[in-house]
Amino acid sequence: MKKIFVTGGSGFVGQHLILMLIEQGYEVNALARSAKAVQIVEQLGATAIKGDLNDANALASGVKGCSSVFHLAASVDFFASEKQLQKLHVEATALLLSAAKDANVKKFIYLSAASVIMNGKPITNADETFISDNIIDGYSRTKLQAEKLVLKENTPNFQTVSIRPPLIWGKGDPNTLAGIIDAVEKGTMQLIGGGKHRFVTCHVINVCHALILAEQSEKSGGKAYFITDGETRVFRDFIKKYVGTQGITVPDKSVSLAMAKTVASIMEFVWKTFRLKGHPPLYKGLVNALGLEFITNDTKARREIGYKTFVTIEQGLEMMKD
């Protein structure tokens, strides 16, 4: 039986991944920094390793005897600065890589993000050769820095892989779904440019399958892979159906892209200047992530690691209703 160490196991993707790993016969250690996280991962069937990502002793304990590591833990925050996220995304990844190598772990799978190539412009059919010349948010910058650290460590005896999903969705989504429902309820929800742009998504179950396939593949070492649901959708249409599964109607309110960028810049300036709590209703990272065409190509993952669409968008939407 393979023993696996998972970070971020109590999170949205992590919970699904732990269940799938256990179903496939893996033994799972999961890092848990709080009593609630301990309870969640243990209920899923994993062994909780108490500590956080900057606790070298906890990481060493977690990776001991493991053949592979799935590093999922991150703060999906497009408003936080690069400085705020540096310790969590970059320094912690370096510490975990060191612990994994010291423990003779054979495979290190990193959950990156497709946003590491965003550049403030529409992107269509981008593959892994595409490099951004203008990453505007701290989340994507630090995720890319961490990804580079991971891939740089690849050797025949310590294979490292990065999986790059776009917007991850599904039942229990604490980010996009919860955020849009909150905006609708507050009356602040507006579709940028009418939401007419096309984009790609990746259902949480598809993400987990890709992570496991990357761990099992002998061809994946030292590489990054985009993954998607295998189809593009109009943003407005998808979001209305997604939120509609929860009985919420997205209003037909719209703001132009130019106006959204202007308002986002002003709000971001005010929030940061006066150190206001929380996030402004609109900020540059949000406009970039949800207001522009964004289509990546996952042909490489399908060809090299056997990735496929395990859950279609329509199937995923039906699952949301249960």
Give the residue numbers annotated as catalytic, written as ranges.
Answer: 139
Dihedral sign from CA coordinates of 31, 33, 37, 38: positive
- CB-based contact 305:210 (threshold 8 Å): yes
Query: What single-letter amino acid sits at 93?
Result: T
User: DSSP character for 170?
Assistant: S
Dihedral sign from CA coordinates of 258, 263, 266, 271: negative
The answer for residues whose C-beta is within 8 angstroms of residue 314's C-beta and 6 or more apart is none
- Cα–Cα distance measured from residue 247 to residue 256, given in angstroms and rounded to the nearest whole number: 27
Instruction: List, in sequence order, every beta strand (DSSP E) within the chain.
Output: 3-7, 27-32, 47-50, 68-71, 107-111, 123-126, 159-164, 167-169, 191-192, 198-203, 223-226, 232-234, 254-255, 294-296
Q: What is the distance of C-alpha 104 from the center of its chain? A: 27
